[in-house]
Each structure stands twice: as structure tokens, then as C-alpha cells.
Structure 1
Amino acid sequence: MINKIRKFIDSTYFTNAMKVTIAAVIPVVVFSFLGHFAMGFTMALGAFFTYPSDIPSSLKHKINGILVTAFLVAGINLVVNLIHPYSWVFYPFLILLIFLLSMISVYGHRGTMISFSGLVTVSLSFSSLNTGWAILEHAGLILAGGLFYLTVSLLFYYIRPNRYVELQIAECIKLTAKYLKLRGDLWTLDSDKKVIIEKQLHLQVELNSIHQNIREVLINGSNNTASSNQNRKMLLVFISLVEILELALSTAFDHDKLNSKFDNHPKVLFTYQSLAYHLAASLKKISKSVKKRNNYVSKHNLLRDLNALQSTIDNYETDLGKIAASEGVFMLTTMLNYAEKQVEKIKIIEKAFTLPANSEDFKGIGKDLEKFLTPQYYPLSTLTQNLSFSSNIFRHSLRLTITLIIGFLIGISFPFQNVYWILLTVIVILRPTYGLTKERSFQRIIGTVLGGLIAFGILYFIKDNITISIFSILCILLGFTFTQINYKVSATFVTMYVVFIYGILTPNISDLVQYRILDTVVGAILAFLANHFLWPSWEFLNVPNHLEKSIRANQNYLKEIAAFYNKKGIVPISYRLARKNAFIEVGNLMSSYQRMSQEPKSKQKQLPQVYQLAVLNHSLLSSLASLGTYTQSNATTTASEAFNVVVDTVVKNLENSVVLLKGNDCCFEENTPKEELAMHFTSLKKIQEKELKKGFPADEEAFQLKMQEAQLVIEQLIWLINLSENITKTTKIIKSI
């Protein structure tokens, strides 16, 4: 229990909640002591408004983002208060302001967070409308609160500058270990491979997200003089983790075939599965030691496991004889080579966390890595290009603007106590996707009712303001902590916090709870209806775009692999960028499928085919990564004409799939005839047959490497052809979406 509490307190979510809680509580306590509670509370609002923009990034981007948000929210409050008395100007201005703030989301994650802060500021501006000099004073206090939050955030950064990265790396290691564990599960007889593969796909989405967070902080911060060695050490670990994932994805075994092949030799596969589980367990233990900042001590002897697998292979070969066991030995050797590479990567990570950082170990490690980041600039053209109904953000901005105006009109037309709470509920709940909006609507209503009842019960028995104040601080701390973990729990604690604050300020607490619940229900209903009827962004409309991007990314990755296979030499940066993009786009396609599965049944058009295409693209990426990893790690022979013809056929198949998605059937590229393709495969197989006829040469190791190349390349090319054809066939079915 103590370990769980310690883990919770050390989490990124709790740390972020601590920052905003401290930045909000200190002004309230100080100004309350001086007899100016309202001033302290206004500064606390400034901290709350600014906090969302403090997202993972380099120090420079962190400071700039928080400063922009602090001045923006103060400016919004100032202008709303100045114009509010002039209704003929105020209402058109309010509509334009809400729309423009919503459109800021076109600038990515940071833009979305700044947009959210601005919209929350607009809604809460109606909670305290001022006149005269009080307008300027109120806006100034909000700005001061935002700047104070920046100060607190920087203090946390300099006290533990590397802790966020450590926790993100630890989480990345844990997720990677989970991925390897799932691969080990595939070797269990009668395992449900479909379920395991689906879990891997979902895990890929999580890994893509955390990879991006780590890139933003590490790559941008790799030149910070204060902790450059530490950053580069983490960068080395991160690169190793990406390579472990690529190796896992690239080594796709035919488990049914292998289980059948070694049916009479179960010890072979059992030994390998045990090694696979130990790979995952080793990473999991590293993750725990990083989180706890303990000294890492390896629990599993991976080198001994490798030797055990090698001994098992030798015994298998001895039992059957060299000729009879040759095919099986090739398969097992491929498995052993894969495991050796994974052990090598894990050893690099272990070394990084057990030995002192040496600058020579990281020499040149940050070269060209900036190219893996999304550029941080915000041209006006990005905004103007999204001013059309073809843009999801444009439709969502219109939807949100209309819903907020309707909520505002309902609030002032009927006897609602706090119109701003209706607006705030709409802003928090209404998301661009139907599934998330629906989920948040129910979670917020449940959390509000539950929080109101609990808080009301506590206030019924406890009347001491100091005790209630302590409860309110704990509630806001836990409310912010659970925002990303469990929104229902977060809404419960935030509601309790609001009720406690009003419990200190006003005796009519029962009326507050009733109105708070009513406001929340109205806001949730408005958000739900808006997402259903106002230009809804059903996911089936977005699927073709995600499909095209995923197919294109795989196609570009294949082209880079083929180019490297033909030219050899050093792996170019374009190859690594193509690989990264393929991973991301396949993950985005799976995310699209997940969102679609949360929508009404009537909108889940061709859902099985969408899932099938997600799996096919993932399998294609796996096969490509296998071919690419092999060509990088081994001295391959000269690429033959047959190899290039087959690759060209796969590229054309993928191109035809994109053409189908766009509805341009007439633009199909002529593909290689089946007969000619079969002839090229025959040509490739002759390499293997020719070597087999020669018998076993004196240099048996060189022979085995050559045979392994022939077998792997042929198998992957056949698999690529089949996958690309299946993608085209399934795309024909989904074309009607």
C-alpha cells in the first residue's frame, strides 16, 4: 500500500497537479491573511487558466507557451469586461471570440491547450463582471496568477530537471516490456492470436503517443548545458527502446507453422518462449528501478538463456541429422538471431542505468534528430487553410460556438444561478469526436452528482472553515491529478472543491449543489446533442484519409528499404524518417478504428473491414520492418532484378489501393502479370536451390548466412505481395464509405 501511494505521488500527473495547486493556494492564503481573499482567489484563477498550456516540451517552448497563455487569458478577461455593457457590440464580439479561440486548435497539441484556457476564461469571465478600475485590477491579478504559475513550474523544473523524462522513459520501457510479453504469449498453444494482435495494436497507439512526448523533451533539450549528458543518456535509452520495438515488430514468425514443425520437439519452442518472457521481465524490472530511483540489479541471466536456446538448437540438429534438420535449424537460427539483438539492446539500456555517464558514449548521438520533430512555428496560412467545412477543427469550432451561445441564452433566459457553469461544462465535455463527448457527458454528470452529495454530507457535519479549507486543497489536488487518469473521479473531486469553497463563502450550500447539478446536466445535454446534430464528425468520414496516409507511409518505407538494399552504405535519415512515419500512421489508423467503435451502430460503417485494413497495414509494416532490419544488420548480396520487380509490384498494389480510396478506378497502374511474377519468384528461389545443391561448403557460417538471407528475403517478398493484394481487395469493399 505504501509503495502504491509513493508511486502515485511520484507520478507525472500528481507532480503537475502539485504545481497548479501550489500556484493557486499560496496567493489565496497570503491575501486572505492580509484581508483580501477576493484578490488571492483571482490570482488563483489566473494560475488555473494558465496551467493547461504547460505540456511536455523543451524549456524554451514551455516558457513561451505559458507566457502567451498568461497574457491571452488576462487580455480576454479585460476585453470581455470592457465590452459587456454594450450588448450591440458584445454579442457579435463574443461569437467571433469563441470561434477564433476554438480555431487555435489547428496549431497542434499546444494550440489545443491554449484554446482550452482561452475558452475557460471566457466562460468564467461571467462569474465576476466588473466596472471602472476594477476591470484593469481583475485582469492584472489574473496575469499575475499566470506569471506566478510560470515561476512555480520553473522551480519544479530546476529542482528535478530530469524527473519528467525519467518517468516518461520508465513508462515507455514498461509499455515496450508489455509488447514483448504479448509476443511471448503468441507461442502458447491454442492462444487466441486475434485478441493478442488486437492488444498489440492498441499498445502501438500508446507507444506512439509516449514516443512523441519523449522526442519533444529530449531532442529539443539535448543541447541544454545543465544536463546534456543526462539528456543524451536518456536519448540513448530511448533510441534503444525504439529499436527494440522495431525488432519485435520486424520479426514476424508463423507460429502455427513453427508449432507444427516442432510438434515432436516442444522443448525448442518452450526454451524460446521462456527467453521471450525473460526479455520482457528484464525491461519491466528496469522500468521499476527507474521510477523508484533504485540501483538496477538484473534478475534474469539473458546470456544464459541465449546459451540454453543455442544448446537446444544443437541438440535438435544432432537428433535429426544436418540434412533433415536444415530447414528447422534455419528457422530456429533466425529466432536466436532476433533474441541476440534484443539482448544487445537491453544490455545497452542496463549499462545506461548502472554505469556513470561518459560523454564519449554519446558522441554524435543527437545528430539530425531535430528532423524527427514537428516544426514549432505557427503561420497564419495554417489557420486560413482550415477555414472550410472540409476541416474537422472548423466544424468543431462552429459546433462549439453555437452550443456555447445557446447555453448562454438559456442561462440568461431562465432562472439559472450560474450561467458560466453551463458554458464551462460544454467547453470541458464537447470534444471533436462523438465517442469521447458521450463518455465525458456521463462521467461529468455522475462525478458532479457524487461530488455534490459527498461534499454536502461533509459540510453537514463539519463547520470549521480551516478544516474545510484543507479538504478543498486536497480535492483540487486530487481533481487535477485524476484529469488524465479517470475523468469521473476528477469531476467528483473538482465538484467537492467548488462546494467547499462556496461552503466557506455562503450559507446557502444546498441551493448551490442543486444548481450546480442542474447546470452540469444542461451543459452535458447540450454538448451531447451538438455533437450528434451539428455537423457531426463521424469517424467513418475520416477513415479513408487515415487509410491513405497509412498506405502511403508503408509505401514510402518500402521504397526506402529497396533503395538501401540496392545502394548499401550508411542508413540515410530519410529511411529513419520513413520508418517513424509508418509507425505513427499505422497507429493513427488504429486510433481511428477505436473512435469508430465508440460511435452509434448506424455510424460504424464497414467496421470489420476497417479493422481488417488496420491489421493488414500493421502486418505490412511488420514485414517491411523485418526486411529493413535484416538489410541493415547483415552484409547482404547484390539486389537482383527479380527483387526490384517484386518490390515494384507491391508499390503498384499499394498505389492502386490509394486510387480506389479516391474513387479513380480509371487511373489504375498496370501491374506485373501473375505469370511473370511467378517467374521472378522462381528466379529468386533458384538462388536457394543452387546453394543447396552445392552441399555444405567449408565455410559453413558464411553458407548459413547466405541461405538465411535467401530464405528471409523470399519469404518477406511473398508475404508483401499477399498483403498488398489483400489491402487492395479490402479497399474495394470499403470504397463505399
Structure 2
Amino acid sequence: MIHKIQKFTDTTYFTNALKVTIATVIPVMLFSFFGKFEVGFTIALGAFFTYPSDIPSSLKHKVNGILVATILVAGVNLLVNIIYPYSWIFYPFLALLVFLTSMLSVYGQRATMVSFSTLISLSLTFSNINTGWAMVQHSGLILAGGLFYLVVSLIFHYIRPHRYIELQIAECIKLTAKYLKLRGDLWTIDADKKAIIEKQLNLQVELNTIHQNIREVLINSHISAGSSNQNRKMLLVFIAMVEILEVALSTAFDHEKLHQKFDNHPRVLLTYQNLAYNLATSLKQLSESVKKRKNYIPKHTLLNDLNALQLAITDYEKDLGKNSASEGVFMLTTMLEYAEKQVEKIKIVERAFTSIVNLQDFTGIDTDLEKFLTPQYYPWRTLTENLSFSSTIFRHSLRLTIALLVGFIIGKILPFHNVYWILLTIIVIMRPGYGLTKQRSFHRILGTVLGGLIAFGILFFVKDNIIISILSILSLLLGFSFTQTNYKVSATFVTMYVVFIYGIVTPNIGDLVQFRILDTIVGAGLAFLANHFLWPSWEFLNMPMHLEKSINANQNYLKEISIFYNKKGTVSTSYRLARKNAFIEIGNLMASFQRMAQEPKSKQKQLPKVYKLTVLNHSLLSSLASLGTYIQSHKTTSASEAFNVVVDTVIRNLDEAIALLKENDFKLKENLPKEDLALRFTELKNIRARELKAGIPIDEKAFQLKMQEAQLVIEQLIWLTSLSETILKTTTALKES
């Protein structure tokens, strides 16, 4: 139990919740001591409004984001108070203000959270409309609350400046370990490959998010503040984790073929699976060590596992004889080399968290880092380009504006207790996508009812204001802690907090609970109806764009692999960028599919074909990673003409698939020279046979490497061609139906 509590409290979500809880509780307690509860409460509101804008980033971007949010939430509060008495201009002003504030989301995640903070402030402005000097004073206190939250956030940053990135790295290592475990599961006989691949795709969505968070903080900090040892160490670990993921993805063997081939020799596959599981276990242990800030002591025997696999391969070769076992040995040797590469990368990560740090590991890690970040600039053109119904954010902004206006008018006409709670519910629940809005509506209502009943039950028995105050602070802390991970639980605790606060200041608790539940149901209903009927953003409309981006990213990755194979040398920045984008886009494609699966059945158009294309793109990326990883880690021969012809054919297949998604006219020239590659492999074997017959001395190791390269390259290119053809056929079927 204690371990679970420690695990929960040592998370980014709990730390963020602790920051906003401290920033809201201190002003209330301090000013209540001097008999100025309302002043303290208003300052607390300013901190509460500003909190959502505090997202992962470098210190400079953090400060700028919080300052902008603070100014906007205070400014909007003042403007609404000034214009509210003039009803003839107020409603058009409110509509324009909501629309423009919501449109800020076109500038990315930080702007989206600043927009959310401002809209929350706007909704709660109606809980206390002021006039004259009072409205200036009220807005000033909100501004002070935002600045106070900034101070609290900076104190947390300087107390543990590297803790956030440590936790993100630990989470990244843990998720990567899960990915390796799933790769190991594929080696189980009769494994449910479809379920495993779906889990891998879902995991890719999570990995994309964590990778982006780490890039945002590490690279921005590196660029703005220079390179510290801690920063470089974390950067080294992050790069190693990305490469471990690439190698894990690259172990894209035909498992059915391997099981058939080694059915009578199960030891080799079981030995490899055991190694795969131990790789995952090692990373999991490393993740726990980083999270607990303990010196890492390796407990694994990965080198012994590698030796066991090598012995299993040797025994297999002895059992079958050199000639009969040659093809199987090449396959197993490739698997062994992939495992060796994983162990090598894990060793780099381990060294980073022990006293044994190899300076050579840091060489070149900070080259062209800024290219891996999306530039942060806010041109006016970005806003104007999104002022059309083709923009998801534009349609969402219109929906939100109309829903809020309707909610405000209903709250004014009908005898609702708190109109602002209807507006707040709409803002918190409503999302651009139908599925998430529906889910949050249900969780919000359930959490509100459950939280109200629990809090009401506690207040029935507990009358001591000190105990109620402590319970309210705990509820606030837990409510914020679960916001990102479990919205239903978060809504429950936030409702309990609100009921406890009102339990202290007003005796009409029963009325409060009833009105809050009613307001929540009305707000959730309006959000749901608006998303369903007002220019809905059904995911099937966006799916062609995500498919196109994923196919295009894979295509660019293939082009970079081809350039590297032809020119050799060191891995270029453009290669690493192409790899990064391919990983990101397959995650985005899966996230789009997840959203589509949450929508009404009538809107899940061609769902099986969409899922098939998602899996095909994942398989394509896996094959590309196999090819790319091999040519990076081996001294390869010159790329043959056949290699380049097949690569061109795959690229043209993908070009036509992209053209179909764009509805452009594009004709593919038939050119599939698989036979040339098969002949090359056969020719190498024939040369070997002739040399053995003639007794010509040869370099056995060099020949083995050539044979291994020939087999792997041939298999991957044939598979790439097959995958690109299937992608093209499935895309054609998708567009024709």
C-alpha cells in the first residue's frame, strides 16, 4: 500500500496537481486569517485559471506561456465586466470573444491550453459580475493569482529542475520495455498476432506523446541554456531509446515461416524469446531505478542470454549439417545480431545511470537538434488560413461558440441556479472529436453525481469546518491529479471539493448538489448535441489525410535508406528526421483510427479497410526499420541495380496510393524485378559451391556476411514490394467503395 502511494505521488500528474493546490490554498488561508476570504478566493481563481497553460517545455517557454495566459484570463474577465451591462452589444461581443479565443488552438498545444485557460476564466466571470472600481480590482486579483502560480511553478522547477525529464525518461523506458515484451510475445506458438499488433499500435500512440514531451524539454533547454552534463546524459538516453525502438520494430521476421522451419528445433526460438523477454525486463528494472533515483545495478544476464542463443545456433547447424542448415543459420544469425545491437544500446543507457560514463557515447549527439522540433512562431497567416470549414478547429470554434451562447441564454431564461456552471461544463467537455466529447460527457455526469452523493453523505455526518477544509484540499489535490489519467475520478473529486467549499460557506447543501447535477446534465447535453449536429468532425473525413501522411512518411524513410545504402558513410540528419516522422505518423494514424472506432456505427465508414491499411503501414515501417538497421550496423556491398529498381517500384506504388487518397490521376508503370534479386542470391550460392568443389581458399567470414546481406536485403525488398502492392490495392478498394 505504501509503495503504491509513493508511486502515485512521484508522478508528473501529482506534482502538477500539488503546484495548483498550493497556489490556490495558500491565498485562501492567508487572507481568511485577516478576514479577507473573498480576496484570497479571487487570487486562488487566478491561479486555477492559469494552471492549464503550464505544460512541459523549456523554462523560457514555460514562463512565456504562463504570462500570456495570466494576462488573457485577467483581461477577458475585465472586458466581460465592462460590456455586460450593454446587452445590445454584449451578445455579439461574447460570440466573437469565444470564437477568437477558441481559434488560438491553430497555433499548437501551448496555445490550445492558453485558449482553454481563457475560456474557463470567461465562464466563471459570470459567477461574480462587478461594476466600477470593483471590476478592476477583481481582475487585478486574478492577475495576481496567475503571477503567484508562476512563482510556485518556478519554485518547483528550481527545487527539482531535472525531475520532470527524469520521470518522462523513466516512462519512455517503461513503454519501450512493454514494446519489447510484445515483440517477444510474437514468438509464442499460436500467438494472437492481430491482438499483439493492435497493442503495439496503441503503444505507439503513447510513445509518440512521450517522445514529443521529451524533445520539447530537452532540445529546447539545450538550445536556450546550453549543454549541461545532465542534459546531455538525458539526451543520450533518449536517443538510445529511440534506436532501441527502431531495432525492436526492425525484428520483422515472418514468424509463421520461422516456426515451420524450426518446428523440430524449438530450442533456438525459445532461447531467442527468452532473450527478448530479458531485454524487456532489464529496461523495466532500469525504469524503476530512474523513477526512484537509486543507483542502477544491473541484475540481468544479457550476455549469457546472447551466448545461449549462439550455442543454440551452433547446435542447430551441427544437427542439420552446414549445407542443409545454411539458410536457417543466416536467419538466426540476423536475429542474434539484432539482439546484440539491443544489448549494446541498453548498455549505453545503463552507463548513463551509473558512475561509468563513456565520453565517446556523447559524441555528436547534439548535432542539428533544433531540426527535430516544430518551430514555434505565430504568424497571422496561420489564423486566416484556418478561417474555413475545411479546418477542424474552425468548425469546433463555431460549435463551441453556439453551444455556449445557447447555454447562456437557457441559463438566463430558465430558473437555473448557476448559469456559469453550464458554460464551464460545455468548455471542459467539448472536444473537436465526437468520441471524446461523448466519453467526457458520460464521465462528467457520472463523476458529478457520484461526487455529490459522497460529499453530501460526508457533510451529513461531519460538521467540523477544519475537517471539511482538510477534505476539500485533499479532494482538490486528487481531482487535479487524475485529470489526465481518469476523467471520471477527477470529476468526482472536483465535485466533492466544490460541495465541501459550499458546505463551509452556505447551509443549503441539498439545493447546491441538485443544481450542480442539473447544470452539468444541461451543459453535457448541449456539448453532445452540438458535436453531433453542428458541422461534426467525423474522423472518416480526416482519415485519408492521416493515411496519406503515414504512407508519405514511410516513402521518405525508404528514400533515405536507399540514399544511405548507395552512398554509405554516416547516418545523416535527414535520415533521422525521416525515421522520426515515420514513427510519428503511424502513431497519428492509429490515434485517428481509435477516434473513428468511438464514433457512431453509421460514421465508421470502411473501418475494416482503414484498420487493414493502418496495420499495413505499420508492417511497412517495420520492414523499413529492418533494412535501415541492418545497413547501419553492417559493412554492406555496393547497392545493385536490382535494389534500386525495386526501391523505385515500391516508391511508385506508394505514389499511386497517395494520388488515390488525394484523388489525383496517376498511372503506375509495371516493373517488378524480383527475379533479378532471387538470381543474385542463387548466384552467390552457386559461386560458393563451385569454390568448395575446386578447393579454392576463400574468406569464410566475408562470404557469410555477403550471403547474410543478400538474404536479408532480398527478403525485405520482396516484402516491401508485396506490402506496397497490397497498400495500393486496399487504397483502391477504399476509394471505390
Superposition TM-score tier, normalisation by shorter sequence: over 0.9
Q: CA deviation at 1:295?
A: 2.1
Q: CA deviation at 1:683?
A: 4.6
Identity of aligned residues (%): 74
Cα deviation, 1:492-514, whole Å, max 9, x if unaligned, reads 00001111111111111111100
Residue 129 of structure 2 is aligned to residue 105 of structure 1? no
In structure 1, the partner of 2:137 is 137
| Alignment partners' CA distance in 1, 2:663 and 2:498 | 54
In structure 2, the partner of 1:688 is 684
In structure 1, the partner of 2:229 is 229
Q: CA deviation at 1:190?
A: 1.1
In structure 2, the partner of 1:79 is 79
| Alignment partners' CA distance in 2, 1:735 and 1:274 | 44
Contact 1:688 1:711 in 2 (8 A): no
Contact 2:76 2:122 in 1 (8 A): yes
Could you tell me the TM-score, scaled by structure 2's length? 0.98
| Alignment partners' CA distance in 2, 1:243 and 1:365 | 13
Contact 1:482 1:489 in 2 (8 A): yes
Q: CA deviation at 1:486?
A: 0.6
Residue type of the alignment partner of 2:605 = K
CA separation of 1:357 and 1:23: change in aligned 2, threshold 3 A: farther
Residue type of the alignment partner of 2:315 = N
Residue type of the alignment partner of 2:444 = R
In structure 1, the partner of 2:242 is 242
Contact 1:104 1:112 in 2 (8 A): yes
Contact 1:283 1:346 in 2 (8 A): yes
In structure 1, the partner of 2:553 is 553
Cα deviation, 1:319-378, whole Å, max 9, x if unaligned, reads 221111111111110110010000000011111111265766524321211100111111
In structure 2, the partner of 1:667 is 666
Contact 2:351 2:357 in 1 (8 A): no
Q: CA deviation at 1:686?
A: 4.5
Q: CA deviation at 1:670?
A: 2.4
Note the 1:313-462 alignment, pairs <5 A.
313-355=313-355, 361-462=361-462
| Alignment partners' CA distance in 2, 1:89 and 1:390 | 30
Residue 279 of structure 2 is aligned to residue 268 of structure 1? no
In structure 2, the partner of 1:94 is 94
Range with greater deviation from structure 2 (216-225 or 76-85): 216-225
Q: CA deviation at 1:721?
A: 0.5
Note the 1:556-705 alignment, pairs <5 A.
556-664=556-664, 666-672=665-671, 674=672, 677-695=673-691, 698-705=698-705
Residue 31 of structure 2 is aligned to residue 31 of structure 1? yes
Q: CA deviation at 1:685?
A: 3.2
Contact 1:642 1:683 in 2 (8 A): no
| Alignment partners' CA distance in 2, 1:245 and 1:360 | 22
| Alignment partners' CA distance in 1, 2:276 and 2:429 | 43
Contact 1:99 1:398 in 2 (8 A): yes
Residue type of the alignment partner of 1:541 = L
In structure 1, the partner of 2:709 is 709
Contact 1:561 1:628 in 2 (8 A): yes
| Alignment partners' CA distance in 1, 2:357 and 2:61 | 27
Cα deviation, 1:631-679, whole Å, max 9, x if unaligned, reads 1111111111111111110000000101111223x4223232x5xx244
Residue type of the alignment partner of 2:37 = F
Contact 2:482 2:489 in 1 (8 A): yes
Cα deviation, 1:565-606, whole Å, max 9, x if unaligned, reads 111112211111111111111111111111111111111100
Q: CA deviation at 1:518?
A: 0.1
| Alignment partners' CA distance in 1, 2:266 and 2:477 | 54
In structure 2, the partner of 1:163 is 163
| Alignment partners' CA distance in 2, 1:648 and 1:302 | 40
Unaligned runs of 5+ residues in structure 1 are none
- How many residue pairs get aligned? The number is 733
Residue type of the alignment partner of 1:427 = I
SS of 2:364's partner is: coil
| Alignment partners' CA distance in 1, 2:247 and 2:687 | 28
Residue type of the alignment partner of 1:324 = S
CA separation of 1:325 and 1:357: change in aligned 2, threshold 3 A: closer
In structure 2, the partner of 1:476 is 476
Contact 2:184 2:273 in 1 (8 A): yes
Contact 1:21 1:473 in 2 (8 A): yes
Note the 1:50-89 alignment, pairs <5 A.
50-89=50-89
Contact 1:642 1:684 in 2 (8 A): no
Cα deviation, 1:10-32, whole Å, max 9, x if unaligned, reads 11100000000000010101110
Contact 1:180 1:248 in 2 (8 A): yes
| Alignment partners' CA distance in 2, 1:414 and 1:688 | 85
Residue type of the alignment partner of 2:685 = E
| Alignment partners' CA distance in 2, 1:261 and 1:671 | 33
CA separation of 1:549 and 1:717: change in aligned 2, threshold 3 A: same
Q: CA deviation at 1:224?
A: 6.6
SS of 1:129's partner is: coil
SS of 1:483's partner is: coil
Contact 2:674 2:718 in 1 (8 A): no
Contact 2:351 2:358 in 1 (8 A): no
| Alignment partners' CA distance in 1, 2:358 and 2:727 | 48
Contact 1:434 1:599 in 2 (8 A): yes
| Alignment partners' CA distance in 1, 2:15 and 2:77 | 28
Residue type of the alignment partner of 2:396 = H
| Alignment partners' CA distance in 1, 2:573 and 2:217 | 20
SS of 1:493's partner is: helix
Range with greater deviation from structure 2 (335-344 or 258-267): 258-267
Q: CA deviation at 1:620?
A: 0.5
| Alignment partners' CA distance in 2, 1:447 and 1:376 | 37
Residue type of the alignment partner of 2:122 = V
Contact 1:475 1:497 in 2 (8 A): yes
In structure 2, the partner of 1:467 is 467
CA separation of 1:392 and 1:225: change in aligned 2, threshold 3 A: closer
CA separation of 1:646 and 1:522: change in aligned 2, threshold 3 A: same
SS of 1:735's partner is: helix
Range with greater deviation from structure 2 (425-434 or 354-363): 354-363
Residue 201 of structure 2 is aligned to residue 201 of structure 1? yes
Contact 1:451 1:492 in 2 (8 A): yes
Cα deviation, 1:140-192, whole Å, max 9, x if unaligned, reads 10000000000000000000001110100000100000000011111111111
RMSD value, Cα: 1.4
CA separation of 1:577 and 1:193: change in aligned 2, threshold 3 A: same
Contact 2:348 2:361 in 1 (8 A): no
Residue type of the alignment partner of 1:416 = F
| Alignment partners' CA distance in 1, 2:614 and 2:164 | 32
Residue 38 of structure 2 is aligned to residue 42 of structure 1? no
Contact 2:456 2:509 in 1 (8 A): yes
SS of 2:717's partner is: helix
